[in-house]
């Protein structure tokens, strides 16, 4: 292997891409962390592939600049950028053997035959295909073809590895193995890696950082835990899932919602706390958006399903001589009825109806075993379950 360079930074500045009327990317600013895996996630059609195309040099942006390894590469041809793209569909040459395919890019660079065959064989070995170098694509499984595609990219010793839904054409049981391989290879090389996926679970598990794109706009770029626990917008909360999103209004010491008054998020205190609101900026820096701090602000209330608590209705009524509205609201206690309970193995998902609104609680099955359809329940919404984002985030 060639000597290693320091991990390369990748910056996008105001990148816009229009196809006629379609705005595929809309002023995207993104600083991809050097030497880490960043997952780019969003629904189908949000602009993920166009973004990779712009970085790889296969797509010219309508506006904006791309900086890679400290250079402005916006006007450089793809082969001079040091970024290599692996496509969703492994586009192998049908008439080349795996070895010839992996060696192809080296051949284009004028590497002599013996040397390129040596490097290609070594790379095939590394991706777990030692001994299969003589096979053509038709003689390889989908997972093996995707490994060839990965080897073909890595043998070029890129500064930045771009993967466009690398696992989505594979059977689920093959995905874990290939994902682990990508992570291993990335770590070995400290390769700045940008992986596209539309699978939210994969996005959270794969990357060191998570960038969430909707309609060509970057809504949030942060660590996976921040994105899950502190979504920047209602769209992010809905897409990443495991949440309920309700309209609401922030009051001084609580937030009003269609299911009743709820506590403010942890860290957002009540009276006298003029400045804070429980929301991060799109850069995930934890910066607080002041508008949410104002009493009377319209918000969206994000409730985390795994932090909601169910109690049998009687239990609360018994303990609750003071279960008047004030106490209920401070503790986030809501009265409802179980609409459905679904056993999922280690976890159970219970849907509760409160004032005509359905909410889902998810918890270890042992905690929720007692709640069958029709049961009267009290739903406890602790402050840790609550997060606020600006209403109708007008992105």
Q: Which residues bind ligand ADP (CB under 6 A)?
A: 19, 22, 24, 42, 44-50
- Number of amino acids touching Mg ion (CB under 5 A): 1
Position among 49, 97, 119, 243 found at the interface with Mg ion (CB under 5 A): 49
The whole-angstrom separation of Cα 200 and Cα 206 is: 10
Nearest CB to ligand ADP, comparing residues 47 and 277: 47
CB 395 within 8 Å of CB 215: yes
**Tokens 């909410």, located at residue:** 359
Paired tokens of 224:
């996976």
CB 12 within 8 Å of CB 64: yes
Of the ranges 4-12, 47-55, 263-271, 375-383, which one interacts with Mg ion (CB under 5 A)? 47-55
Supply the minimum distance, in Å, between the C-beta of residue 332 and ligand ADP: 37
Supply the minimum distance, in Å, between the C-beta of residue 20 and ligand ADP: 7
User: Considering the rule CB under 5 A, would residue 257 count as an interface residue with Mg ion?
Assistant: no
Q: List, in order, residues 6 or more apart from 206 with CB less than 8 Å away.
A: 37, 39, 179, 183, 195, 197
Nearest CB to Mg ion, comparing residues 160 and 316: 160
Of the ranges 16-24, 45-53, 113-121, 129-137, which one interacts with Mg ion (CB under 5 A)? 45-53
Q: Please calculate the CA angle 196-200-230 and round it to the nearest 5 degrees.
A: 110
The whole-angstrom separation of Cα 63 and Cα 23 is: 11
Residue 289 site contact among Mg ion, ligand ADP, none (CB < 5 to 8 Å, cut-off depends on kind) = none
**Tokens 């009540």, located at residue:** 270
Q: Is 60 exposed, middle or buried (0-12, 13-18, 19+ CB in 10 A)?
A: exposed
Supply the minimum distance, in Å, between the C-beta of residue 224 and ligand ADP: 19
Supply the minimum distance, in Å, between the C-beta of residue 54 and Mg ion: 13
Nearest CB to Mg ion, comparing residues 196 and 246: 196
Supply the minimum distance, in Å, between the C-beta of residue 216 and ligand ADP: 7
Backbone angles phi, psi at 379, to 5 degrees: -100, 125
Which residues bind to Mg ion, rule: CB under 5 A?
A: 49
């Amino acid at each position: 292997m060639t000597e290693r360079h320091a991990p390369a930074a990748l910056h996008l500045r105001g990148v816009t891409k229009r196809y006629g009327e379609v705005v595929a990317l809309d002023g995207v600013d993104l600083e991809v962390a050097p030497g880490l895996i960043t997952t780019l996630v969003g629904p189908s059609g949000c602009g993920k592939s166009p973004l990779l195309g712009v970085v790889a040099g296969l797509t010219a942006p309508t506006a904006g600049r791309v900086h890679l390894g400290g250079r402005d590469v916006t006007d450089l041809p793809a082969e001079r950028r040091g970024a290599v793209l692996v496509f969703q569909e492994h586009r192998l040459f049908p008439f080349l053997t795996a070895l010839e395919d992996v060696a192809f890019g080296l051949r284009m660079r004028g590497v002599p035959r013996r040397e390129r065959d040596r490097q290609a064989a070594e790379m095939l070995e590394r991706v777990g295909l030692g001994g299969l170098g003589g096979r053509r694509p038709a003689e390889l499984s989908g997972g093996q073809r995707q490994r060839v595609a990965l080897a073909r990219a890595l043998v070029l010793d890129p500064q930045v590895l771009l993967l466009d839904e690398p696992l989505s054409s594979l059977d689920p049981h093959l995905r874990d193995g290939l994902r682990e391989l990508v992570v291993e290879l990335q770590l070995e090389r400290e390769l700045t890696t940008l992986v596209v996926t539309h699978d939210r679970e994969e996005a959270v598990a794969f990357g060191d950082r998570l960038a969430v794109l909707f309609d060509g706009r970057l809504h949030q770029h942060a660590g996976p835990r921040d994105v899950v626990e502190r979504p920047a917008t209602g769209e992010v909360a809905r897409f990443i899932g495991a949440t309920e999103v309700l309209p609401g209004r922030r009051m001084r010491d609580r937030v009003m919602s269609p299911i009743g008054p709820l506590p403010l998020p942890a860290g957002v205190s009540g009276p006298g706390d003029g400045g804070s609101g429980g929301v991060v900026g799109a850069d995930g820096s934890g910066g607080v958006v002041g508008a949410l701090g104002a009493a009377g602000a319209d918000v969206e209330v994000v409730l985390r399903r795994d932090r909601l608590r169910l109690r049998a209705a009687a239990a609360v009524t018994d303990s609750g001589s003071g279960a008047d509205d004030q106490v209920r609201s401070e503790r986030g206690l809501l009265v409802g009825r179980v609409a459905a309970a679904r056993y999922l193995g280690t976890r159970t998902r219970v849907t509760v109806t409160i004032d005509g609104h359905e909410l889902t609680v998810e918890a270890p099955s042992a905690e929720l075993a007692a709640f069958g359809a029709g049961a009267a329940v009290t739903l406890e919404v602790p402050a840790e379950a609550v997060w606020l984002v600006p209403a109708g985030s007008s992105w």
